[in-house]
Amino acid sequence: MACQGLQKGETLESLKRESETLKKKLEEERNKLNDVELHQVAEKVEVLSALSIKTRRVLKGHGNKVLCMDWCKDKRRMVSSSQDGKVIVWDAFTLNKEHGVPLPCTWVLACAYAPLSGLDNKCSVIPLSLDKNENLAAKKKSVAMHTNYVSGCSFTNSDMQLLTSSGDGTCALWDVESGQLLQSFHGHTADVLSLDLAPSETGNTFVSGGCDMKANVWDMRSGQNIQSFESHESDINCVKYYPSGDAFASASDDATCRFYDLRADREVAVYQKDSIIFGASTCDFSLSGRLLFAGYNDYTINVWDVLKGTRATILFGHENRVSRVRVSPDGTALGSASWDSTLRVSWSFSTGSNYIFRFIKLLFWVNSRLVLEFTVAF
Amino acid sequence: MTTVFFEYTSTFNLGEWSLNSPLKYSSKRLFYEDIFSPKTITNNMTSNSNLSNMRRLVEQLKLEASVERIKVSQAAAELQQYCLQNAGKDALLVGVPTGSNPFREPRSCAIV
């Protein structure tokens, strides 16, 4: 294909003109169906009551920036990777560290938990590595081989396959057992920074976002780019599917998060504020999809009301950039990892609070700090 | 046409991502690699690869233009419906009982 000569009547200019007219036609088609904005449709929805999401646990133990974290399907364990070359598995209830895996490479950008419990405790880490053929240890496998760093990875529903995104501009689907490349996805013109699989059990699409400011939706079986969205003004750092699978959100260096609907084939909401000038590096939806948690480089996590387009609340606490936010699989808690080498777990207490409990807690605090810690652990 | 990009290293601080990059599609590889390994990226665009790229782009655009779309009002209504249906189960919205730890193993209570 690369060496084909010009077809009859075809020139570079004519192809360029054709692509321009096609782009315009695409815009027109999309705009025809843009009859109303999402926040207008959501006007009748009740405004969110004041959220009481706060950091309840701080996990310390990494020696350097925490770059990535993920929840285990058992809803209690978390895995995190850090610049000090370690991958740690935490128990969020006891705050114990269950495993610590040292890796030879320092920039571990992505980690994911294998979904099936049969692969108990196996977390697969794809390190930033140019040593493609390095066999790390008996348990660890070098599965994905890209020509550049691997920025994101995700196990597919079947657990036997791994999807990776890379700085070489491609995404690839690998068989975990044999390490074979099953499908590759070309279309981005710059580094691909993030990918997310469609949530449905039978789904076979995924979305990827990259430094070319585009978010592409791909068919996993054919390798075809089905849809493409280009409205961000800077690198897209993270993409995440809406829980129903009909839409996705993206977080970008242009300090905005955007919400795209797949069936309407366009952007339907932009989450931005004049006071937010730092890029967003990560985003995740709550279980119902009403809240979008986005971690920013100004050390905060902004929580957006997805339907109304307004900010619901803001979470402080991290002392450096937030590198990853993830909602736990059953939606009860939010885990966040940061360059300040800590992880924080936050959840919300219902506002119909128990005053008697509060009073007892106050008594304990007055008595001694040890007793308070016992109560907090409960 | 040969385009050569030089990655600058001397002014690059590993801790911060410089927003003043002259490259339009800045590579995050700069961000992650050791600052003491200068590299040169060469992007050779021959006329043939240009042509095949354009052809691929045109095919891709044709495919995208033929996608079936629904109205935003309908899509938004369905998104809203999903939100409201699942809002009750969303523990980050409604909250867990005050003082409890959501990670504790659920103990079953039998009402006698």
What confidence tens digit (pLDDT) does each residue in A105-140 have? Answer: 555 555 555 443 222 233 344 443 323 233 333 334
Question: What is d(CA A166, CA B101) in angstroms, rounded to the nearest whole number?
Answer: 38
Interchain CB contact of B14 with A (< 8 Å): no
Answer yes or no: is A22 within a domain.
no
Answer yes or no: is A12 within a domain.
no
Q: Can you say whether the dihedral through the CA atoms of A56, A59, A65, A66 is positive or negative?
A: negative
Question: What is d(CA B50, CA A170) in angstroms, rounded to the nearest whole number?
Answer: 19
Report the residue of chain B nearest A148, measured CA to CA: B29
Is pLDDT above 60 for A184?
A: yes
pLDDT per residue over B41-96, tens digit each? 333 345 667 788 888 888 888 888 888 888 888 999 999 999 999 988 888 888 88
Instruction: Please state at what angle helix A12-32 crosses helix B47-65, rounded to 10 degrees.
Output: 20
Find the farthest-apart pair of alpha carbons in chain A and give their distance in angstroms, rounded. 89
**Of the candidates A2, A76, A378, which has its C-beta nearest B49's C-beta?**
A2
Mutation choice for B interface testing from A34, A47, A290, A299 by most B CBs within 10 A: A290
Answer yes or no: is A358 within a domain.
no
ipTM: 0.77
Interchain CB contact of B55 with A (< 8 Å): yes
Is pLDDT above 50 for A373?
A: yes
Answer yes or no: is B27 within a domain.
no
Distance from CA of B112 to the nearest CA of A (A): 25
pTM over 0.80: no
Answer yes or no: is B29 within a domain.
no
Interchain CB contact of B36 with A (< 8 Å): no
pLDDT band at A42 (very low <50, low <70, confident <90, very high): confident
| CATH number for the domain that contains residue A242 | 2.130.10.10
Residue A226 DSSP one-character state? E
Bigger pLDDT: A292 vs A353: A292
H runs (alpha helix) in A72-140: none
Is pLDDT above 80 for A20?
A: yes
| pLDDT score, position A120 | 29
| pLDDT score, position A129 | 32
Interchain CB contact of B110 with A (< 8 Å): no
Interchain CB contact of B59 with A (< 8 Å): no
What is the phi/psi pair of residue A22, to 5°? -65, -40
Q: How many domains does chain A divide into? A: 1
pLDDT per residue over A27-41, tens digit each? 888 888 888 888 888
Question: What is d(CA A165, CA A194) in angstroms, rounded to the nearest whole number?
Answer: 6
Q: Which of A316, A282, A275, A324 shows the shortest CA–CA distance to A299?
A: A316
Bigger pLDDT: B112 vs A30: A30
Q: Which residue range forms the structural domain that includes residue B86?
A: 67-92
Q: How many domains does chain B divide into? A: 1
| pLDDT score, position B9 | 37
Answer yes or no: is A282 within a domain.
yes
Answer yes or no: is B3 within a domain.
no
Cα Rg of chain A (Å, integer) = 22
Show the CA angle centred on residue A268, arms to residues A71 and A51, nearest 5°: 50
Contact A211 B101 (CB under 8 A): no
Answer yes or no: is A325 within a domain.
yes
Contact B72 A38 (CB under 8 A): yes
Distance from CA of A69 to the nearest CA of B (A): 17
Q: Which residue range forms the structural domain that includes residue A327?
A: 51-349
Answer yes or no: is B4 within a domain.
no
Residues 16-35 of B with CB under 8 A from A: 19, 25-29, 32
Q: Which of helix, strand or coil describes residue A254?
A: coil
Residues in chain B within 8 Å Cβ distance of A333: 91-92, 102-103
> What is the distance between the terminal CA atoms of chain A, rounded to a whole angstrom?
65
Across chain B, mean pLDDT equals: 65
Q: Which helix (H) or strand (E) holds A331?
A: none
- For residues A334 and A345, the answer to whether their CB atoms sit within 8 Å is yes
Is pLDDT above 90 for A269?
A: yes
Answer yes or no: is B25 within a domain.
no
